[in-house]
Amino acid sequence: MRKDDKVELTVDRLDADGRGVGDCGHVRVHVADLLPGERGRAVVEHMSPHRPQAWGRLDERLGEPAPERVAPACAAFGHCGGCAWQHLAYPAQLLEKRRIVRDALGDRSVDDVVPSASETRYRNLGKYVIGRGVLGSYAPRSHRLVSTLGCAVVEPVIDQVAGALASRIDDSGLEVYDETARTGHLRYALIRSDGHRVLVGIVTTLAAPTEAVANLAEALCAAAPEVSGVVQVINDATTGALLGPKQRTLVGRPTIREAIGDLEVEVGIGAFFQINRIQAARMYAAVADWTGARAGTRAVDVYCGVGGIALTLAARGADVVGIERNADSVATARAAAERNGLTARFEVASAEQIAHVVDATDLIVVNPPRKGLDDQTRAALLALAPAQLAYVSCNPVTLARDLDRLSAAGYRVVRITPFDLMPSTAQVETVAIVQR
């Protein structure tokens, strides 16, 4: 097989980018807009130099569409780079996500995926590239801006405010940032919602005229009463990062009150908070239920962030310590514990320093980044020898590796349950419960 060859394939699964994947001889070929069970002819555009993988564009669909094919909810589907599974019916999405977890975990038993309460309008944070009179995202592997106004995935109030901001850019006197020339002022917008009100972050370069940015914030608030606060974030980085180290409040409050079930947490524009609040609360409650957390349970929440799981355990009566290396997140978690009348303790420390924070515990909860547990952290956890460990993972591959290592150290996996927090994407969260 070579570039520009035409090949025929029948798709048997989806990849993370929403492309259908099927065999053509000994080569696995990825093609956009083909679903499992569909057959098509594609033109090869790229061959991997390292493995039998190829990527192509669809030339012709052969035969009938799959019964699971549905009309995408967003007009920008296929162009913005997000929600790559939006053309696949939701029950089929859940089956695909369970397959992803099962493929990674081998012969371990995996429960059905816990579905999201909503397939659309679940995101409480919208992230946008600012263009002239438009907010959107870059098309994959390009700097071509695609409008995402009208997005069906963010909460409605976010889309309303995004439209109001976009319509005021031209009159602001501020230049839109040019990623290639590295010139201009307005870079990104972040809009965080509590379901009714929003906090807006306007990301600019350091050179952006202060008065003009303030005037834009005032104009937005006048047009959109749903806005409770606007902050300016200074970002001159060339790395593609959305947030920068400096921030100032332009209008209102720099935080918004979010919900974790019945608990409340004040979060800023850059705080990590699960984007599907209802499903996140359901997952955190499941961790508490499945570990039997109650009064007298000593628990440690490692990588605790703003304290979602720790606060949920504390609400069940557990004696909880949260560990997080980000000082701002720890401050947010401490304030949330006080606001909700809980006695959870939060400490600034890296995960491998757990033994410096506690000397004994019944339960350890870990929610690591995609890379999973490093050797030092795993050794520190095992040294405490908790009776139970709950592992919340966003990466089934590193979860599988870490469960194998925990099993080798004398732990038994008793439950693996995936949760869908991001419908129409390949992302899946998984909760694994292990016991000594």
Q: What is the CATH number of the domain that holds 215?
A: 2.40.50.1070
Tell me, yes or no, whether 388 and 365 share the same domain: yes
Tell me, yes or no, whether 425 and 372 share the same domain: yes
How much is the pTM? 0.93
Question: From CA 212, how far away is CA 25, in angstroms rounded?
Answer: 60
The structure tokens listed for 89 are: 């019916």
pLDDT at 211: 97
Alpha-carbon torsion angle 232, 238, 243, 244, nearest 10: -60
Range of the domain at 403: 104-116+276-435
Question: From CA 257, how far away is CA 248, in angstroms rounded?
Answer: 19
Q: Which amino acid is at 98?
A: R
The position carrying tokens 């703003």 is 306
Binned at pLDDT 50, 70 and 90, residue 264 comes out as very high
Angstrom CA distances, 64 to 39, 56, 96, 135, 300, stand at: 8, 20, 21, 37, 53
Among residues 214, 230, 260, the one where a domain terminates is 260
- Evaluate whether 134 touches 145 at the Cβ level (below 8 Å): yes
pLDDT tens digits for 374-411? 999 999 999 999 999 999 999 999 999 999 999 999 99
Tell me, yes or no, whether 286 and 394 share the same domain: yes
pLDDT at 239: 83
- Domain contains 138: yes
Tell me, yes or no, whether 112 and 187 share the same domain: no
Tell me, yes or no, whether 255 and 282 share the same domain: no
The mean predicted confidence, pLDDT, of the chain is 95
Tell me, yes or no, whether 282 and 419 share the same domain: yes
Tell me, yes or no, whether 141 and 251 share the same domain: yes
Tell me, yes or no, whether 185 and 253 share the same domain: yes
366 phi/psi in degrees, rounded to 5: -125, 140
Tell me, yes or no, whether 297 and 419 share the same domain: yes
* Domain total of the chain: 3
Binned at pLDDT 50, 70 and 90, residue 283 comes out as very high
Tell me, yes or no, whether 290 and 367 share the same domain: yes
pLDDT tens digits for 72-127? 999 898 888 889 899 999 999 999 999 999 999 999 999 999 999 999 999 999 99
Tell me, yes or no, whether 248 and 292 share the same domain: no
Tell me, yes or no, whether 313 and 407 share the same domain: yes
- Domain contains 134: yes
pLDDT tens digits for 352-378? 999 999 999 999 999 999 999 999 999
The structure tokens listed for 126 are: 């919208």
